[in-house]
Structure 1
Amino acid sequence: MMIALMAVYLILLFAIVRLGIVRFNLFWKTSPFIVLLLLNLGLFIPMGWGAPQGPALVVRNAVSIVPDVAGEVAEVPVVANTPLKAGDVLFRIDPTPYQAQVKTIEAQLKLSSTRLSQMTQLFERDAGRGFDVEQRQSEVDQLKGQLEAAHWNLDKTTVRAPADGYVTNLALRKGARVANLPLSPVMAFIDTSGTIIGVEINQIDARYVEPGQEVEVTFKFAPGQIHKGKVESVLQAIATGQTQTSGTAVMPKAIEAAPFVVRIKLDDAEVARNLPAGSAGTAAIYTDHMKPTHVIRRVILRQIAIVNYVNPF
């Protein structure tokens, strides 16, 4: 934009000198440098404060699917990269051993319940001990708890989608053996129920950014288009400002002003939902300061949107 404004000024300067309107003296010779300085001090530097711009990225939460029970995979009906609803079946584990466990506990519970009933009748007739009744009641309660756990295990042989989304990089096949170990996920599930869009803003330009401010963003995935939104929050921590418990002393390192991350939300939820994870673009945030510079920022962003048709970087 600065190049365009300077080009316009130089053309006008050439025209008025050529037409003899002004004499090309020392003042007019140095005027391009004066105009360049004024543009920087009066427009482009304040524009960074009042309408900061930065790269934007679409990210989604990924869930590592780990089954709650172990066993042999009996069926994988899901197709990779196909939209799923919460509760749709991802895969099934052979339920045979868990069904057998349920039947075994049910048989034991039936026998213990019968004995409890008999002991209770004897106690009511003063022909039995109260201790025997309590002991049988304890057995019944324990078996009921075991039966509930067995039913839970049987239900968990069917693994379902935790939210709306899709499975990616699917390698699981029928006959594979899976285990309920947290370090052994069997597939990656991409949650599309919520879209996270982050914008990196230089620290010197982030002072006036607040939730609720207007945002415009253009993506490489959709060149030529401008999407409107709002600032959701300014993340209060970045990795360079994080400390973790360790057994080592402080390790000095070069301190750099890493950009802050601003989370935004698009007004059109359908557009946000259809953006692939990893979509990159450029966003501009319009704060309550330096409002005259907002016009220039809007023009610059639209220039970027048009250039996205040919610029892959």
Structure 2
Amino acid sequence: MTIALLILGAYGIFAWLVFYKFKLLKFNVAWGMVTFWVGFHVLFLLVVLLRFFAPYTIDGHVIRQTIQIAPRLPHPTLLQDVFVTQNQPVKKGDKLYQFESTLYDAQLAEAQANLVEAQQNALILQEDVVLAQDQLAQAEANETFAAEQVKRYTDLVPKGGARQETLDQWTAQLAGAKAQVAEAEANVTKAQLAVAAQIDGVNAQVAAAQAQVEQAQYYVDQTTIFAPEDGRIISQQARPGLVVGGFRIASIAAFVADANPYFLATFYQEHLKFVEPGQPVEVALDIYPGQVFTGKVKAIWEGTGQGQIKPSGNVPNFLFMHPQGRFAVEIVLDEDPALKRFPGGAHGAAAIYTGGGGEWVSVLRRVNMRLYAWVNFIIPFDV
């Protein structure tokens, strides 16, 4: 709009100089129509060339990535201490919040006690195998002795050297000894199976107890929240006495990271026809009136939310008159690629110079960018 007004103004001054100031031509209806149509086509041509060969937008923002700080505690837990203040820079690993840990310390101690008990039980299982094997050996010895007695009395009874009742007793004892051997063998197998219940060479009960210890230790660790990386918490609303955990699923703070910010500007889709990565860019940020920063196109985000249909049971409702979505262009600034001096959300204008249409197209757009930058000294008009 600014460029169009400037062109109209320049053309109007030119017409005034020709027809009124120097009176090179006499103004009449015919010359009026010619002047109008020439001006209209010049304006139209310039606007079209600017839109495609030097696309421009006032919808640009510095984007900083955020991390949602959400306590991962299974029970309602009291916030005990807050170690960070509003907008305070912190380093990775600095303490942010401390929650009351009595319950989780007790659960850890209980889990550690269960682990010790499970380890002792694993040792007992080894001894159970030895005991079962000893019992099997004794049962086999009893069976062997009973079998010999049965054989001896089987030879003596027909010769009158022993009574039939004695043979019957030893026969019954042999049957009982065989039953004891079978029971002892089953006990050995049972004890061996108990010992063989392992996960990666560790007794199953010990592994389960160890897992409980690790889970309890995890929740103890979660009672202290540390900074995930360098950054700051912009709005510090959490205060001691806040209860989190249980059914709470929302975060308690937004952590703004220092690393990997980027400048994102949105353009109408058709204006990106000749835009490619690596082309020069100028950016004018509202936070720095009068300054224009140079940069390059890093990437074009070729997609918008209008190109997504989320899975659902509803038939899509296509609104044909809905305004088109813009495409975002990621821009890297030459002066400060890490954007250390630019806060997240900083707004500004951006122009991309594709090199098409001649140098005068770029010159007009550069004038436009500098007008935007200098007008930021007085806009908005609140004093």
TM-score range, shorter chain: 0.7 to 0.9
Cross-structure match for 1:273: 340
3-state SS of paired residue (1:225): coil
Q: Contact 2:19 / 2:27 at 8 angstroms: preserved in 1?
A: no
Cross-structure match for 2:300: 234
**Residues 139 and 301 of structure 1: is their aligned pair in 2 closer, same or farther, counting only changes over 3 Å?**
same
Q: CA deviation at 1:119?
A: 4.3
Residue 99 of structure 1, aligned match among 105, 119, 122:
105
**Residues 119 and 209 of structure 1: is their aligned pair in 2 closer, same or farther, counting only changes over 3 Å?**
same
3-state SS of paired residue (2:291): strand
Cross-structure match for 2:50: 47
Cross-structure match for 1:72: 78
Q: Distance in 1 between matches of 2:22 and 2:365?
A: 35
Q: Contact 1:201 / 1:260 at 8 angstroms: preserved in 2?
A: yes
Render the CA deviation track for 1:68-91: whole Å, top value 9, x for unaligned.
114211111111221222322220
- Aligned counterparts, 1:190-269, within 5 A: 190-253=256-319, 254-269=321-336
Does residue 1:57 correspond to 2:61, yes or no? yes
Cross-structure match for 1:294: 362
3-state SS of paired residue (1:310): coil
Length, aligned pairs only: 313
Q: Distance in 1 between matches of 2:35 and 2:338?
A: 44
Q: Distance in 1 between matches of 2:256 and 2:346?
A: 15
Render the CA deviation track for 1:247-286: whole Å, top value 9, x for unaligned.
3334342243333222222223367233222221110011
The more displaced of 64-73 and 31-40 is: 31-40
* CA radius of gyration, larger in: 2
Q: Contact 1:232 / 1:264 at 8 angstroms: preserved in 2?
A: yes
Does residue 1:152 correspond to 2:154, yes or no? no
Q: Distance in 1 between matches of 2:193 and 2:338?
A: 68
TM-score, with normalisation over the residues of structure 1? Answer: 0.86
The more displaced of 133-142 and 93-102 is: 133-142
State the AA in 1 paired with 2:345. G
Q: CA deviation at 1:124?
A: 6.8
Cross-structure match for 2:195: 133
Cross-structure match for 2:144: none
Q: CA deviation at 1:58?
A: 2.3
- Aligned counterparts, 1:100-119, within 5 A: 100-117=106-123, 119=125
Q: Distance in 2 between matches of 1:250 and 1:114?
A: 63
**Residues 12 and 36 of structure 1: is their aligned pair in 2 closer, same or farther, counting only changes over 3 Å?**
closer
State the AA in 1 paired with 2:97. F
**Residues 286 and 181 of structure 1: is their aligned pair in 2 closer, same or farther, counting only changes over 3 Å?**
farther
Q: CA deviation at 1:5?
A: 4.2
3-state SS of paired residue (1:222): coil
Q: Which runs of 4+ in 1 moved over 6 A?
A: none
What percent identity do the matched residue pairs reach? 27
